[in-house]
Amino acid sequence: MKNAILVATTALLLGIAAPAHAQDQVDQSAQTAATSQPSQPETGVDERDASERITARLNDAGLCDPLKMDLAKVAAILGYEVPAISLGALGEVSLEDSPVDTVARWDKPRHKATFSLNDADRTFKLDIALKCQPSEASAVIEIFDLDPGKWALEDNATCSGRLAATAVRDMECEISGFLGKGIGRAIDFEQKVRNALAREL
């Protein structure tokens, strides 16, 4: 009788434990399968990285190259006064009486771009802080010992559009101010921006 009860009890325990053990194996297999699944690639754009790369592209795009301006005109725009300098036998010489050409190239780019993208519809916005400063090699800048960074011209531009694969669609740019208008007249600004975006996104 005792043996029969023992056999029945053992069978009952085995019957309960077996499904539990099987469930443990199922859970472990599922966990293993989940961890072994390859991670899905991210489809978003790292906006900070994109901004830095677009900035580098724009600074290499020659946006400032065509700009040649008279220092006296820039001084009036910026509200600066160019102090007179001593030129030996010529004595004190003002900018207006300068024996050298007062026109200089503002061809040193210091632009900065900020890119943002809406992943849902792939529309983007690109804010560009335009900055061109005069070349240190310009005679009038060198003779009057001017800091090129102080004499930089700055303006803002904004471009918006849509990304389609590697193409830029429906892009429009707004550019204003003395520097912005000067750049816009001298080059195809939108095309320069479009090229920078297409190469980096």
Question: Same domain for 27 and 95?
Answer: no
Does 25 share its domain with 108? no
Residue 165's region, left for phi above 0, alpha for psi from -120 to 50, else beta, is: left
Q: Are residues 31 and 120 in the same domain?
A: no
Answer whether 157's CB lies under 8 Å from 171's CB. Answer: no
Burial 48-59 (b: 16+ CB within 10 A, else e): eebbebbbebbb
* 42: in domain: no
- For residues 11 and 95, membership in a common domain is answered with no
Tell whether 110 is covered by a domain.
yes
Both 21 and 116 in one domain: the answer is: no
The overall pTM is greater than 0.85: no
pLDDT digit string, tens, across residues 150-184: 999 999 999 999 998 778 999 999 998 889 888 98
CATH of residue 54 = 3.10.450
Q: From CA 125, how far away is CA 23, in angstroms rounded?
A: 53
How confident is the model at residue 152, as a pLDDT? 95
Domain range for 63 is: 47-200
In this structure, are 64 and 160 located in the same domain? yes
Same-domain pairing of 51 and 33: no
